[in-house]
Amino acid sequence: MTPSKQEIRQKIAQLSEDIFHYDQLYYTGNPIVSDAVYDALCQELEELEKRYPAFIHPLSRQNRVGTPVEKNKFSPVQHMRPMLSLDNMFTASEISTFQKRLNRFLKRDEKCTLEFYTELKIDGLSVALTYENGFLIRAATRGDGQVGENITDNVKTIGNIPHILSGNYPTERLEIRGEAYFPKSDFEIFNEKQRQQEGQIFANPRNAAAGSLRQLDSHITAKRSLKFFAYDLVLPGAQQHETQADVIKNLKVWGLDVIPKPLCSSHPEAIEKYYDQINQSRASFDFDIDGLVLKVNDISLQKDLGFVARAPRWAVALKFPAEAGETTLESIDIQVSRAGVLTPVARLSPVLLNGTIVKNATLHNADEISRKNLRIGDKVLVERSGDVIPKIIHVIPSQQKRADPFLFPTTCPECHSPALQEPGQAAIRCTGGFECPAQQREKLKHFVSRKAFDIDGMGEKNIEYFWNRGDLKTPLDLFFLEERDQTSLTPLRTQPGWGRKSANNLFQSIEDKKNISLDRFIYALGIQFIGQETSKLIAQHYQTALTWFESMECLVQESSDTDEQSKRLLSIDGIGPKGVVSLKAFFSLSKNASLVSDLISSLSIKSLHESTEPSKLGSLDGQTFLFTGTLSIPRSEAEKRTQMHGGKIATSLSAKTSYLVVGDKPGSKVAKAQSLGIPCLTEDAWQELLES
């Protein structure tokens, strides 16, 4: 008797769930079926999936470990809400001050109590999990807070992350945030295996976790015993919980592990006591922690408090005291920044601090070396806190004869131009400017960096490689690398470490980035005091690259009597005199002006409001769409097509929604749309609307 479609769907689901269960046991070292049985089940599932692709289950092996690595393996992912970092406090005595500051912002009496949900600050890698209709569909890193990297295949190998949520969940789509970490007990075993196999040894569990989640082969990630703690929930609309504690309870109900030993209290003294207890017992946990996180427990107050530029106002990290250790100052090297600043770096005998081997420490400038009276060969106390760059606290007194005082160079170690200290400035700068190789290299590294041109495959090592080959001296050279390579006697594809594919991939990445927004272009130039936000302000004001460039040419010609362009710049809220002086100094150098002019001629520089995507077709301009149910194509593809035609995508149904596009098994949205008078379209009707 031929099985029905429903029976086939159930069979595929059962096989997928059984194989998923066996995979989890295998990767944790507890297999319960033989390879022969496992292979037979996989073969049966594969044959059914080939014949009935519409019935492929979310837990299918096709959606998990071992899928072919795509070119966009770590493709960009836009977060549902920015994944911001936290402001820091370093002593428990600051808790009361923090509480008073929040009360002042809320326009309440400073003595009003505020309940905090306090949890351990896990020292791992922040990850955002996206679930749709209860199924895990995507996982991403924090990235720059706005956009992360897609690490879904690797995250799906973490044993305690559910692929399907248990219980009931409030919306079709939700994002769960937390920390992926490497348990300390497993980390020791893992590193020992690496030593035996002469593999990479990791300095600490955090580095191992980060490296594991960036593997191109998810089988490798699966064998590394990573774990996950959930600590936050993001919904497309308003938060549906009253307190942070309620959020955590729900995460547990859905099957996620949450951070243990939290404290809910409105008394600073109780939180201080908790801080001391955790600090004293932190070594007993099987995961690294570097402090506590305090969150206002009341969700409505969180909303009232809102956010500052880079962090929520309603949460703060309370860091544990820095770890310090004794070591020897072996030498002091001088590095040259892209702005020409000569920065001293201490080279130290290796010392283990906070799970990391420290070999270098910042010395900031010549004044600090003099103030701390540092000399080569001194025993010094070095401190490292969390991810902060290690620093030398002081020299440890000794009876041994000391070396002579360190003489800060008076010339640039790279180009030998005079190094001068401007009046009132701590920094000593190379005067070589554009002629200094170190500054040129650092400017190139900045030019291709993630927040600038973001050229895939052109990192620091390749900048150095092309620099040493003589192929790359200015940013303009980047965009003619392929042209030069075609006539070279030693083309890139023939060089050690390169091949035809890797060379073509790099050239294509460079070609793709010839389209860039004006703000990124300005930021990429590395002009002193013109950072990312200032670049956006300038781009918004001038709109086009040519308008901006012509205005800068006029700025250079200005005197005290004619200062129209200076006044125009100063009229932009957020730009001050330092920025104006820096822009004028930059464009006063003819080489800089020529470089910018040539780049503008060679690139396609868009205004801040222009899309860098292919041009929209315009048939859906001003209309907002929401999709529900199962479509014949992935929902992400349907949303992309809608946006390509000028439409917008809604995250929830409201009176502002123009159309609800309805697939199979749509759920309750249809009834709500009808009650709001919102037209419902079938998938075919939506396709016709696109083509009209």
pLDDT digits (tens, 9 = 90+) for 142-185: 887 888 899 999 999 999 999 999 988 888 899 999 999 999 98
Answer yes or no: is pLDDT of 339 > 50. yes
**418 and 439 belong to one structural domain:** no
Query: What is the domain-level CATH number for residue 263?
Result: 3.30.470.30
Q: Is residue 395 part of a domain?
A: yes
Q: Is residue 82 part of a domain?
A: no
**117 and 201 belong to one structural domain:** yes
**284 and 310 belong to one structural domain:** yes
Q: Is the pTM of this model over 0.75?
A: no
Instruction: Compute CA distances 153 → 21, 185, 214, 687, whole Å.
Output: 17, 25, 10, 31
What does DSSP say about strands 125-132 and 135-141: parallel, antiparallel, or unpaired? antiparallel
**411 and 462 belong to one structural domain:** no
Residue carrying the six token digits 């090297």: 333
Number of domains in the chain: 6
How much is the mean pLDDT over the chain? 86
Determine the Cα–Cα distance for residues 350 and 125; give it in Å rounded to an integer: 25
Contact 318, 168 (CB under 8 A): no
- Over the stretch 51-73, which tens digit does the pLDDT of each residue have? 888 788 877 766 554 333 344 45
Determine the Cα–Cα distance for residues 626 and 653; give it in Å rounded to an integer: 7
The pLDDT confidence band at residue 663, using thresholds 50, 70 and 90, is confident
Last residue of a domain, one of 319, 349, 383: 319
Q: Is residue 423 part of a domain?
A: yes
Q: What DSSP state is assigned to residue 146?
A: S
Which two structure tokens, joined as six digits, stand for 286? 């099987």
Given its phi and psi angles, is residue 208 left (phi above 0), alpha (psi -120 to 50 degrees) or beta? alpha
pLDDT of residue 613: 42
Contacts of 442 (CB under 8 A, 6+ apart): 336, 337, 338
Domain holding 650, by residue range, is 624-691
Contact 22, 14 (CB under 8 A): no
Which two structure tokens, joined as six digits, stand for 377? 């060969």
Last residue of a domain, one of 278, 293, 319: 319
pLDDT of residue 589: 87
Q: How large is the average pLDDT for residues 652-663?
A: 82
Answer yes or no: is pLDDT of 29 > 90. no
**423 and 444 belong to one structural domain:** no
pLDDT of residue 610: 58
**454 and 404 belong to one structural domain:** no
Sequence-ordered alpha helix ranges (H) in 525-589:
532-542, 545-557, 564-570, 577-588
Q: Is residue 503 part of a domain?
A: yes
Last residue of a domain, one of 319, 338, 362: 319
- Over the stretch 502-544, which tens digit does the pLDDT of each residue have? 999 999 999 999 999 999 999 999 998 898 888 988 998 999 9
Q: Strands, E, within 337-454: which ranges?
A: 342-353, 356-362, 379-384, 391-395, 419-421, 428-430
Q: How large is the average pLDDT for residues 224-235?
A: 95
**31 and 156 belong to one structural domain:** no
Query: What is the domain-level CATH number for residue 416?
Result: 2.40.50.140
Answer yes or no: is pLDDT of 230 > 70. yes
Answer yes or no: is pLDDT of 75 > 90. no
Query: What is the domain-level CATH number for residue 19?
Result: 1.10.287.610
Strands in 125-132's sheet, in edge-to-edge order, are 135-141, 125-132, 173-181, 227-234
Query: What is the domain-level CATH number for residue 684?
Result: 3.40.50.10190
Question: What HEC string does 629-654 produce?
Answer: CECCCCHHHHHHHHHHCCCEECCCCC
Q: How large is the average pLDDT for residues 658-672?
A: 81
The pLDDT confidence band at residue 45, using thresholds 50, 70 and 90, is confident
**333 and 361 belong to one structural domain:** yes
- Over the stretch 414-435, which tens digit does the pLDDT of each residue have? 999 999 987 878 889 998 876 7
Answer yes or no: is pLDDT of 614 > 60. no
Q: How large is the average pLDDT for residues 571-592?
A: 88
Which two structure tokens, joined as six digits, stand for 522? 């300005």
Phi, psi of 373 (to 5 degrees): 50, 50
**56 and 103 belong to one structural domain:** no
Q: Is residue 378 part of a domain?
A: yes
100 a catalytic residue = no
Determine the Cα–Cα distance for residues 19 and 59; give it in Å rounded to an integer: 9
**110 and 227 belong to one structural domain:** yes
Answer yes or no: is pLDDT of 32 > 60. yes
**40 and 151 belong to one structural domain:** no
Query: What is the separation of C-alpha 543 from the centre of its chain, rounded to a whole number of angstroms?
Result: 28
Q: Is residue 613 part of a domain?
A: no
Q: Is residue 685 part of a domain?
A: yes
Phi, psi of 72 (to 5 degrees): -100, 35
Contacts of 432 (CB under 8 A, 6+ apart): 340, 412, 414, 415, 417, 439
Query: What is the domain-level CATH number for residue 443?
Result: 1.10.150.20
**92 and 36 belong to one structural domain:** no
Burial class (CB in 10 A: 0-12, 13-18, 19+), 544: middle
**Sign of the alpha-carbon dihedral angle for 325, 329, 333, 337:** positive
pLDDT of residue 22: 76
User: Which residue type is seen at 76?
Assistant: P
Helix 545-557 vs helix 532-542: crossing angle, to nearest 10:
100
pLDDT of residue 257: 97
Residue carrying the six token digits 């791992």: 124
Q: Please tell me which residue in 11, 100, 111, 121 is annotated as part of the active site.
A: 121
- Over the stretch 239-269, which tens digit does the pLDDT of each residue have? 678 999 999 999 999 999 999 999 999 999 9
Determine the Cα–Cα distance for residues 682 and 663; give it in Å rounded to an integer: 7
Q: Is residue 618 part of a domain?
A: no
Q: How large is the average pLDDT for residues 480-508?
A: 91
Q: How large is the average pLDDT for residues 672-691?
A: 78
